[in-house]
Amino acid sequence: MGGCLSGDLKGGEQAIGGGVHGRSTMNNDTGHNEAIHHFYRVRGHSPLFTQIELSLSASNLRDLDITSKSDPMAVLYVKKMNGTLEELGRTEVILNSLNPAWIDKIHVAYQFEIVQNLVFYVYDVDTKYHNITVKALNFNEQDFLGETSCVLSEDPFLRISRQTEDGNHVPICKTEDDPLLIECFDFNSNGNHVLIGQLHRSVSELEKLHKDRSGANLIFPSHHGQEKVLKGQLFVDQFIEKEHFSFLDYISSGFELNFMVAIDFTASNGTPRNQDSLHYIDPSGRLNSYQQAIMEVGEVIQFYDSDRRFPAWGFGGRTYDGTLSHCFNLNGTNAYEVEGVQGIMAAYASALHNVTLAGPTLFSHVISMAAQMASQAASNGITKYFVLLIITDGVLTDIQETMDALVRASDLPLSILIVGVGNADFKQMEVLDADDGHRLESSIGRIATRDIVQFVPMQEVHSGQISVVQALLEELPGQFLTYMRSRNIKPLHGPEQSNPECCHPPILGKGVVELPFDGVKMSLLGPSLTC
């Protein structure tokens, strides 16, 4: 089977069973987790998924028909954690073709924080079933032509194009231009502001007001469904369009996430050979909290790092020569990098036999090391964003030094994920997380330029309240975008940027030109209005 994702529409004229009858128009939300969606929604957050549209084509299929060519249909599945396949959609049947390009699209919810294994099956539909909708087809009665698979996280950006008359392909992008409600109030210091008037205008209409230097009358709504047109008018004094790129725009253009991990080797974890130790390695294969955090976060982020070589450190332990260190290479050599997530797991297990647990718990050293690497990459123009995972069981003894290191690092392409294991009091971590809106302040009074920390206590993970990977990565795309926009860094030049009008709002990546609130400067004129 050829390329599994394509925008080519040739050959679609001979399709049957598609349109409203196809599975591609059904169950568009089956690709995302409703529990996760609810978790974010009740907390007022946008869920980390984007609806993307897949166009499928295949080439050089087997010919199983005797008097004609195969009549292929594609079926898309997602492979679940337990190995079972869940169907996401079906295409129509293309008659008499070994190189089909299906017209029906299949919608998938792309989730940054989950590795999505997609499996594609292709069937040759027997002629006697051509008058049956694809939804009703039984695959056991059709000939199997082949299968292929891909991991959606490896290449998460899909561009759908249409073919023009000259044979070229032009990217298609949906631009939202829904009307905006604009209200004018008479200000009162007690907070009981009085509505003067309102109007509905789309962004394009606001732009036209600016170009024409004309005004739009305000309207006073009535409870009886009638509206009173007022003499007061709204004028657009300034109109600025800002192109905001999404997380997917950067990743698809060549930016990478460089995963790093730092593990707590302080004595409060307990002797590793004892079963009550947080570092206990269960012979049955059951993962401890440290291993669970490494696996779940690493398995997602590794797909965004091309070489999959990850810096791995330990802190708070006495190393192989007896020296107390707060930032040592986990693999016990001079090389700080290991190969893949399994390399981190192996280095961690080996270190438990060679490193003596000690203390105290200090973060500033590993944060400074990660910041140094991020700084060097930024200075050299390397398109990488660094993600440091710190797993710890204890209360910090260098809280101010840690805050100083975080404030300095807030100017760098770096985010820090902290997982708290055990039953310690992690209130300090909540301060570092700065989710209350108060940015960190250093010992010399400098304020962090942005929030770069996300903290998750493993207790809540074990109680089933949250998933460690989804909670940790909830803020990462936003932190990434905040850094890129603050530096006016745009996605790398490439084919996906050939249409400058196709851009996306933060995180969710739905095609729209976003106007920040300060992008439109308005004034009001009228007998009773001054501005």
Highest mean pLDDT of the ranges 220-229, 387-396, 456-465: 387-396
Domain boundaries, the chain: 45-151, 157-242+520-524, 247-487
pLDDT at 166: 59
The letter for the amino acid at 283 is P
pLDDT at 113: 66
> Would you call 464 exposed, middle or buried from its count of C-beta atoms within 10 A (0-12, 13-18, 19+)?
exposed
- The CA-atom distances, in angstroms, between 23 and each of 103, 117, 120, 134, 173 are 12, 19, 14, 7, 23
Summarised one tens digit per residue, pLDDT across range 451-471 is 999 998 887 766 666 677 777
pLDDT at 346: 96
Distance in angstroms (rounded) separating the CA atoms of residues 384 and 200:
42
Long-range Cβ contact pairs of 166-169 (< 8 A, separation 24 or more):
169/7
HSE, CB side, 13 Å, CA atoms: give it for residue 324: 9
pTM of the model: 0.59
| More confident call, 519 vs 367 | 367
State whether residue 37 is helix, strand or coil: helix
Distance in angstroms (rounded) separating the CA atoms of residues 359 and 1:
56
> Would you call 285 exposed, middle or buried from its count of C-beta atoms within 10 A (0-12, 13-18, 19+)?
exposed
Residues whose CB falls within 8 Å of the CB of residue 166, separated by 6 or more in sequence, listed in order: none
Distance in angstroms (rounded) separating the CA atoms of residues 34 and 40:
10
Residue 235 scores a pLDDT above 80: yes
Torsion of CA 169, 72, 118, 258, to 10 degrees: -30
Distance in angstroms (rounded) separating the CA atoms of residues 31 and 297:
20
State whether residue 88 is helix, strand or coil: strand
The per-residue b/e assignment along 408-428, b for 16 or more CB within 10 angstroms, e otherwise, is bbbbbbbbbbbbbbbebebeb
Which CATH number applies to 45-151?
2.60.40.150
State whether residue 249 is helix, strand or coil: helix
Summarised one tens digit per residue, pLDDT across range 162-193 is 445 555 544 444 345 667 788 888 877 777 77
Distance in angstroms (rounded) separating the CA atoms of residues 163 and 172:
10
HSE, CB side, 13 Å, CA atoms: give it for residue 12: 17
- Nearest in space to 93 (alpha carbons), one of 131, 119, 46: 131
Rounded mean pLDDT, 94-99: 89
Query: Average pLDDT of the chain?
Result: 78
Architecture of domain 247-487: 3-Layer(aba) Sandwich (3.40)
Least confident range from 67-76, 112-121, 392-401: namely: 112-121
